[in-house]
Amino acid sequence: VSRSSAPRLVWCQWALIGDRIERGVEIEIRHGRFTRIARGVGPAAGATVRHGVSLPAAANVHSHAFHRALRHHSQVGGSGRGTFWTWREQMYDVAARLEPDTYHELAADVFAEMAAAGYSAVGEFHYVHHRSDGTPYPEPGAMADALVGAAADAGVRITLLDTLYVHGGIDEHGRYTLPSARQRRFVDAGADAWAERLRGHRFAAHARVGAAVHSVRAVDPQAIAVAAAVAADLGVVLHAHVSEQPAENDRSRAGLGGTPVEALAAAGALGPRFTAVHATHLTDHDIALLGGSGSFVAACPTTEADLGDGIGPFRRLADAGVTITIGSDSHAVIDPFAELRAIEWGERTRRRERGVFTTIELLGMLADGHRALGWDDAGAIASGSRADLVTVALDTARTSGAGDDPDAIAAAAALSATAADVTHVTIDGTDLPSARLTSGASIVR
């Protein structure tokens, strides 16, 4: 990512500053950072003018890039009837075909789609580590490097969440099972082998490493404790899939004597650098543990709807102290605004009441995820922050009619806009080329 050293000015018709939609905002950008913000001003000579409403660009906290290949190919009319578990078999078929070069090509298109939709950073929850027969590549980080290179191609930052995966699952008697043939390429010999690869990654400036444990199904409590200690030692974030399905909770209780959140808490995983992905089927105790520890949740509501997972208790989590962030996970759609609507509409449908989250709270979820990915200096239009912006048009068929009312403009962005209404994206001070905003995905299948 090239950065001009000369300061430049961007004038926004409307912009989200803190928790307010402000009119006439002048932003100075220098060395990829916001250096000065002025409100209530007109456009200066030479300033880049952005009509519509500009927001801090979004963080996509949970992604498996290769799942994008299943879009259009796993629905009713094809082979789509089924459950999360039948979908998982289709997903394993795609995973079996990936190699570093094809994964780079596929992921570059997926990350370009994200950037065009307004995401400036992605958390790639990466577990396709080895060859399909389970033997390591000569360069142990070959697949991780393919993903990091793809993010560079697309112009987005990436947190490569190198994921520990040890077991096939937990059986009905509560015992860990051996990996299946198709899980072999995900599996490390143990937490120490995983930690060695994690410590060996050397990435360019747009990328950083994070840690992940796949789930309590795939990682036993002793290995989770090692992973948590390694993440703390390296000062990197730690993510885990948590309670996406009721069956996962049943097996956790049978094998571990508690819920996945309880098992993760006992292993020392929770805290302000921890993100629970999904957090769909939680007990009151789980919610208290996540909130009390200052953990993040990565809500993936379009995926959770697509897979029939359920509706997560996002309002209760937020009230308990959890920071709610978003992820597009399986990439059934890649649209940060669709995630916000799905969070709010899921809660409204379940509660039969309106306004569960305020529109400003929803817009905050777009960018709060940068901290969950370890980019603590991103996610706000504020002096000193990384210069990430997404501008949403207010004159399209979907967004027109908000007028000069800041509340209506916030609602237009949070509850009516789509990725197609995004007109400009700036990442670390660099404007995304407009050609990339219309990039079609040439996905290998």
State the minimum distance, in angstroms, from the CB of residue 129 to Zn ion.
15
At 347, give phi and psi (nearest 5°): -65, -40
Nearer to Zn ion, 336 or 406 (CB): 336
Binding mask 176-195 for Zn ion (x = CB under 5 A): --------------------
**What is the closest distance, in whole angstroms, from the C-beta atom of residue 123 to Zn ion in the complex?**
10
Choose between 113 and 329: whose C-beta lies nearer to Zn ion. Answer: 329
- Residue 88 belongs to what H/E stretch? helix 84-95
Q: Which is nearer to Zn ion, 259 or 280 (CB)?
A: 280
62, 167, 214, 278: the active-site residue: 278
Contacts of 219 (CB under 8 A, 6+ apart): 164, 165, 166, 167, 191, 213, 227
Sheet with 20-30, side-by-side order of all strands: 33-38, 20-30, 8-17, 48-56, 389-392, 422-427, 430-431
| Residue closer to Zn ion (CB basis): 34 or 125 | 125
Question: Which of 124, 421 has the CB closer to Zn ion?
Answer: 124
How many residues bind to Zn ion according to rule CB under 5 A? 1
Active-site choice (145, 162, 220, 329): 329
Strand pairing partners for 422? Answer: 392
Tokens of 413: 């962005």
Q: How far is the CB of 197 from Zn ion (least distance, A)?
A: 20
Q: Rounded CA gap, 367 and 376, in Å? A: 11
User: Pairing between strand 20-30 and 157-164?
Assistant: unpaired
Looking at residues 204 to 233 of the shown chain, list those that interact with Zn ion (rule: CB under 5 A).
none
* Interacting residues with Zn ion between 99 and 158 (CB under 5 A): none
Give min distance, CB of 214 to Zn ion, in A.
9
Torsion angle of the four alpha carbons 190, 67, 82, 170, in this order, in degrees rounded to the nearest 10: 10
Query: Which residue has its beta carbon closest to Zn ion?
Result: 329
Which 362-391 residues touch Zn ion, going by CB under 5 A? none
Report CA torsion sign: 270, 273, 278, 280: positive
Q: Would you say 170 or 218 has its CB closer to Zn ion?
A: 218
Q: Give least dist CB 22 to Zn ion, A.
A: 36
Q: What DSSP line would sit under 258-304, residue for residue?
A: S-HHHHHHHTT--STTEEEEE--S--HHHHHHHHHTT-EEEE-HHHH
Q: For Zn ion, what does the binding mask look like between residues 314 and 333, x meaning CB under 5 A?
A: ---------------x----
Q: Which amino acid is at 95?
A: A
What is residue 426's three-state secondary structure?
strand
Residue type, 259: T
Q: Is 329 a known active-site residue?
A: yes
Length of the chain: 445
Smallest gap from residue 280 Cβ to Zn ion (A):
12
- Which residues are the active-site residues? 278, 329
Q: Note the residues at the interface with Zn ion (CB under 5 A).
A: 329
